[in-house]
Structure 1
Amino acid sequence: MKKIVIHSGYIKLDSFLKLADCVSTGGMAKALLQEGLVAVNGEREERRGRKLYPGDKVEVQGEGVFEVEGETSEA
């Protein structure tokens, strides 16, 4: 499982797919989702705007499993 660090409280699924290098454009993300190739926390997801939070797991057929990780601040 690959961990993808986000720098805010959440990230939208289409942006996450780009950050994880699964797609290079929003249009490609839309097509991937419409084909049913993406699952969030074990459930198929088709909404590009689905908000992902630290701890969520995203599985992309042909690409692998990714976990959303929040940015840690060291004081």
Structure 2
Amino acid sequence: MQEIKLRDEFIKLGQALKAAGLVGSGVDAKLVIQDGLVKVNGETEVQRGKKLYDGDVVTFEGETIHIVK
């Protein structure tokens, strides 16, 4: 499990995937999110701009990202 530390109140889903190194670019993030391959807190998420807050958990291709303050 990777942790992403928040610098602000939230991070957007596409940015979190890039920061964790799970996608190479914002375009890649957009595609995998639109294809329904990303889950936030166990629910499929299709909005690239979804705001993630402290405690949120993102899963993609067997990798887990935990958002922490």
TM-score (ref. length: structure 2): 0.92
Give % identity.
43
- Unaligned runs of at least 5 residues, structure 2: none
1:10 is aligned to 2:17: no
Larger Rg: 1
Structure 2 counterparts to residues 1-75 of structure 1, below 5 A: 1-62=1-62, 64-70=63-69
Give 1:18 deviation, angstroms. Answer: 0.6
In the TM superposition, residue 61 of structure 1 has moved relative to its aligned partner by 1.6
SS at match of 1:36: coil
Counterpart secondary structure, 2:27: helix
3-state SS, counterpart of residue 23 of structure 2: coil
* Count of aligned pairs: 69
AA at the equivalent of 1:65: T
Which residue of 2 is the match for residue 73 of structure 1? none
Deviation for aligned residue 1:34: 1.6
Deviation at 1:58, TM superposition (A): 0.2
RMSD (CA atoms) = 1.0
Q: 1:4 deviation in Å?
A: 1.3
- Paired with 2:3 and 2:13, the residues of 1 have a C-alpha distance of 15
Residue 33 (structure 1) shift: 0.7
